[in-house]
Amino acid sequence: MKLSEQTRWVRHEAHGEIILNRPEKGNALTYAMLEDLGKICEEARGDRDLRAIVLRGEGDRFFCTGGDIEAWGSLTPHDMGRDWILFGIEAFERLRKLPQPIIAAINGHCLGGGLELAMAADLRLCTARAKFGTPEVTLGMIPGWMGVRRLAEIAGVSRARHLTLLGAPISAQTAESWGLVTAVCEDQEALQTKTAEWLAQLSGNGPSAMALVKGLLDTMHEDMAQHHASAVAQAAGTEDCREGVQAFLEKRRPTYTNR
């Protein structure tokens, strides 16, 4: 399996690690990384000796800061919906539907598409300094990889409104109280220790039983991919989105006109 240098797959005795490998860019996601996720999922699905998967970001500052704006900022609305949003949803869905349990070990800030990726995991834990947020509205954009719906399912509609409309991050402690994560670790060492404990527990469980449980829980999800892609394409076609992207690149505050 050939991957880009932006993603690493490390196969251990009973589990594997997916490592987002762009620490200098906040582990922001590119098209190549989405392709890598698909390749990893294809290999993992047929690996009967693989008991669990850990998903993490390289470095100690960021888990993932979302989709790289340089990857989508210049796309047309049509291409945005088809080539970026639907492709990303497909990659995340392939990850979410793997028979093996997935642990998102959130070693730093988890924002935008990074939070959407983390929500594709079955279990989430983080360091105490991690922050969580969906800042897309500050760019005139919306979460496109099923993030709005996933937030509502996991944290509730009211809290999903808080995150997606304000666009401001919340602390690890708030994320725990909202159910976005189920464990907060003091530091990186504690995160590794707790992840190892969870891996040991998962490895001792019946793999077929865990896969069946995941399948039962999966029935609560409806296919909303096309709806999300259409909404993102509509947002991408607004003058406000173009202004938000340009302001981000020019490092200034955007001036929105509601057009």
- DSSP 3-state of 53: strand
Question: Does the active-site annotation cover 116?
Answer: yes
Tell me the C-alpha distance between 108 and 61, whole Å. Answer: 5
Beta strands at 52-57 and 62-64: parallel, antiparallel or unpaired: unpaired
Residue entry with tokens 């076609």:
237
What are the backbone dihedrals phi and psi of residue 75, each rounded to the nearest 5 degrees, phi first? Answer: -75, 150
Question: Does the active-site annotation cover 70?
Answer: no
Query: Any residues with CB less than 8 A from the CB of 55 and at least 6 apart, and which?
Result: 17, 18, 20, 95, 102, 103, 104, 105, 117, 118, 121
Residue 25: count other Cβ atoms within 10 Å of its Cβ: 16
> Is the Cβ–Cβ distance between 203 and 14 less than 8 Å?
yes
Spot the catalytic one: 116, 153, 186, 243. 116
For residue 50, give the DSSP letter. Answer: -
Spot the catalytic one: 24, 70, 93, 136. 136
- Active-site residue set: 116, 136
